[in-house]
Structures are given as C-alpha cells and as structure tokens.
Amino acid sequence: MDINDVIGLSLRIGVIVSVILIATGSLLTFVEHGSNGYSVSELLSRTSVVNSSTASFNFIVNSVSQFTGLGLIYLGLVVLIATPVIRVMLSVLYFALDKNLLYTIVTAIVLFNLLIAIFVIPIFVVHN
C-alpha cells in the first residue's frame, strides 16, 4: 500500500464518517423536536440566529458529550473540513520521504495557508 492509497483511503473515510455524523445529528434533531434548547423551527428557519459563529470548540465538545443533534452535525462538518487538511499533511510526509525538497516546501506552504485560515484569521475577523 503506497501513500497515494493511504491518501485515497483517508479521504473516503473522512467523507463517510462526516456524512454519518451529519445524518445522525439531523435525525436526532427531528426526533427530539430540537437540540441544545432550540426548537426545530428556531433551528430551521430562514432567519435562524443559530450559526457557526456560536459553535466554539467548547460548545461542540460539550454538545457532542451530551450527544445532541446539533453537536453531531457540527462535529460532522468539522470532520469534513479536516479531511483535506489531513490529505495535505500526508502529502508533506510523502514528498519528504521521497526526498523531493521542492515539493516538500510546496506542500508545506499549502499546509501553512490552510492552518492560517483555520487558526489565525478567525482571531482577527471575530470582533465581538
């Protein structure tokens, strides 16, 4: 099994896990007539105030540990975003093992851009 197979497999697992989490979370939200203290109509209306700006790391961890519908959906979406990040990490490893200096640097720059977008920019865009 070479690294391309590992990358392909990790992409597939990421998508499958994320879809299962999102589907389970959605189902749970409807079965329990809401989630995290919100009713279904509060969660699902065009003017809903529930969105990712309130989904902090702590909020997601707490919701998932209480097995709420909203928590599972958020976790599924996080897994979805993390899937390409893992792919890029594996690619850095692949080129490093291949002793291809240029492409180790190239993939490291891509990873750097991704990590800036995930961890640094959010600090500046959220003012309140």
Partner 1 sequence: MLTGLALFLSVLFSSILAGYLGSLTGLGGGTILVPILTLYDGIPIIYATGASLISTISTSSGAASAYIKDRITNVKLGMSLEIATTAGSIVGSLTVAYIYEHHLAYIIYIIFGIVLIGSIYPTITKGKRELPEPKPQDWTTRFFQLYGDYYDSALGKQVNYWGIRWWLGEIIMFFAGFISGLLGIGSGALKVLGMDYAMNLPMKVTTTTSNFMIGVTAATGSSIYWALGYIQPLIAAPTAIGVLLGALIGTKTLVKLKNRRIRTIFTILLGFLGIQMILRGLGIV
Positions touching partner 1 (CB under 8 A) are: 4-5, 7-9, 11-12, 14-15, 18-19, 22-23, 25-26, 29-30, 40-41, 43-48, 50-55, 70, 73-74, 76-77, 80-85, 87-88, 91, 100, 102-103, 106-107, 109-110, 113-114, 116-118, 121-122, 125-126
Structure tokens at 44: 């699902």
Query: Angle, nearest 10°, between helix axes 101-115 and 69-97?
Result: 160
Closest approach of partner 1 to the CB of residue 8, in Å = 4
Q: What is the DSSP string of 36-101?
A: TTEEHHHHSSTT----GGG--HHHHHHHHHTT-HHHHHHHHHHHHHHHHHHHHHHHHHHHHHTT-H
25 and 70 Cβ atoms separated by less than 8 Å: yes
Query: 65 or 101: whose CB is closer to partner 1?
Result: 101
Structure tokens at 2: 């070479």
Closest approach of partner 1 to the CB of residue 123, in Å = 8
Query: 47 or 58: whose CB is closer to partner 1?
Result: 47
Query: 48 or 65: whose CB is closer to partner 1?
Result: 48
Query: 4 or 62: whose CB is closer to partner 1?
Result: 4
